[in-house]
Structure 1
Amino acid sequence: MILTSPEAVGLCPQRLGRIADWAESWVASGRLPGLTTLVARRGQVAHLHSTGLADVARGTRMTPETVLRIYSMTKPLTSLALLMLYEEGRFQLDDAITRFLPEFRDMRVAVGGARGKVETVPAIRDITFRDLLTHTSGLTYGFMQAGLVDGLYRDHGVDFQTAEASLAEVVGRLAALPLIAQPGTAWNYSVSTDVIGHLVAVISGQNFDAFLRERVLRPLGMKETDFHVTEAQRPHFAANYARSAEGGLTLIDDPATSRFLTPPRVCSGGGGLVSTVGDYWRFCQLMLNRGVLDGTRLLGRKTVELMTANHLNGDMAAMGQARWSESTAEGIGFGLGFSVMLNPARAQITGTPGEFAWGGAASTAFWIDPAEEMAVILLTQMTPSSTYPIRRELRVLSYAAVVD
């Protein structure tokens, strides 16, 4: 990857240099194993810094070639795949998904009860494509530990990460369970994007992973991104950690034995990909370019604009989610696959209205600012993402370097 001088793209080199110092301090403290940061503006990478270790036990250095679990940073790519089919006229956003997935007809919504007997009422309408893309479908996640329905997910094997079943089978299990809210009425982070992956397969007639490789990853030149780690990538594959009781590192996924070493039975559109900083930068630049990269167009300009507009009735907080991960949901809306900055003052963080972003469970993150022609990527492996406020800190450091 070729770097340009910060001055050439309106960034202060001294201020941009604070990012490296900040990263080094996190690693030196023993709280993070290693991390990579990238800041690009006006189509050029002005900052790329890797520090620390990708694998502490083996002494493997963190580098730009390190392969990491990006988890929910898979979601924007899956959403892009669905929007490519939207551009082909295959469906409309307000279409019910029952047009393609009849198992979601006559859904019920949980309103009370106990784990053994959940009280439900009929859904007022079917789930739409827009509901899935915006996480207003009424679906949830089994790991939330927040209510009766996510307990049912665990009881019935609704797990798109490790299930020993087909994607269609897991979606079928999901459709048999109640929703946690009426479709379209509340923002709840969920397996919606995994259902989108299944919809991509049903609508296109291809397996979801094959569609994503052939129509998105290969055209973008994202050669290191897939649902499993190849033999050639194994020396570069990072370990995944959690914070220990003493504030250090506890290994939770060894790269020598990780499930990511073999192709999964279920390819999770919500969180199944591994990638590198260089690969994900290509996706970010595609979005900054409004759907085209190196002469290859995946989406039209107007579709990108629709995708990155706020589709909620207000911000995420107004739709029921006061916080997400380590960040407030005040002043943050949601588009078709991304969070969308509405009001930096309300969000209490530096930013620009219209900036769009998301992150992953292992504390990875990215944000794209069309007004500033800027993208930032943070890659590390610390689960969960709420462990440390590193995303917010990097956001402040990155924007502080903008001087032109």
Structure 2
Amino acid sequence: MSEQTAQTLFVSNALLLGRAVDITVSGGRIASVADHDNNAAPAGAEIFDAKGQIVFPSFIDCHVHLREPGFEYKEDVESGLAAAAHGGFGAVLPMANTKPVNDDTSVTELMLERARKSWPHGPRVHPVGAATKGLKGEELAPMGELAAAGCVAFSNDGLPVGGAEMFRRCMEYAADFGKIIIDHCEDPTLARGTHMNEGVTSGRMGVKGQSVVAESVQVARDILLSEYLDIPVHLAHISCRQSVELIAWAKSRGVKVTAETCPHYLLLDDVALEQYSTAAKVNPPLRTPDDVAAMRRAVQDGTIDIMVTDHAPHAAHEKETPLDEAPNGISGLDTAVALSWRLIQEGLFKEEDMIRLWCHAPGGLFRLPVNRFTHGDPADFFLFDPAQEWVVGPETMHSKGKNTPFTGWKLAGKVTSHWMGGHKIV
């Protein structure tokens, strides 16, 4: 244990769910949280004055693409974790669609080693292994070996498993190791060659669109398999009304299904692509205002269990192309917390909901440690200044990927400091 971790840290006058508190950290863990008292600092403690800023437990992003190995020109582990650290995330779950694919323990170990070397005190990387070899949907990946190497879940995200029999085998095999399958719900035949949501906007633009059924038909398949097998399944980046209606129905029947969505599905609709904006091209696509309203209700009523970014950075030249040639994806780690705060300002949810959606529920789902600010919890937390305004743009983002439809938006709220295990990382 380092001297820095062993010493006492005293964070004074932080605002925790509206309560002014002092946080004492010892040995990298929460020692106490008490009402603010100007004279309460322990002798010899390192004192940090939070000046009334909001304190949040470090968030967990259960769906990111760190691109390394193979696509380091888009992002690498070091730069992705820089965006995470400055964005308030203490843990990230990177998907397996790297090159080579994370279907081999050597890839898992490389990612973990890169994280340890570049950010030794965190943020932490918890890899998601491939469900099938090469993400081809033909042969199961060696999930047992991958789990032993550090993979916390499995997914074919990027190339979803189209065959129901193969997906059943994926679910059963992952369950043997106490792991869950994360499914990118997309029927590959219905989605082939599409570039945005199918609807009025795509018709006006003359662009081939993807119907909501391309997503919801696979949501239905996964729900039925989960119920039949009595095995949990987690549904990635849900985007439309039909999907959340199916998920709500499944939950009412006691099916072990959980689901996630992203800030962009709550704040933007398909009109964002009206000028053929490649920055707003994402998969699943931005949907209609009606779908956005349904997604917002699903977050409020608990149909959606967690929030994720689906952080998908790309190089500038890849997005500076015609819409039908540009890759899908939005770079999200830098903006997620401020966008979530915007949703609080709009009345969609409260601070405690933000903590649940970005920290406690993700930690419970994937069995990861979280900070609940009780004695002995990991001292993973960040300070957030809601009064600090900033404009989204290349110069205010830490990710290599600057591809976001929120460029130019003025957002209120900025992460100002971040500690992991009592170490100040930002």
Same fold per TM (> 0.5)? no
What is the TM-score of this pair, normalised by structure 2?
0.28
What is the TM-score of this pair, normalised by structure 1?
0.29
Higher relative contact order (CA 8 A, sep 6+): 1
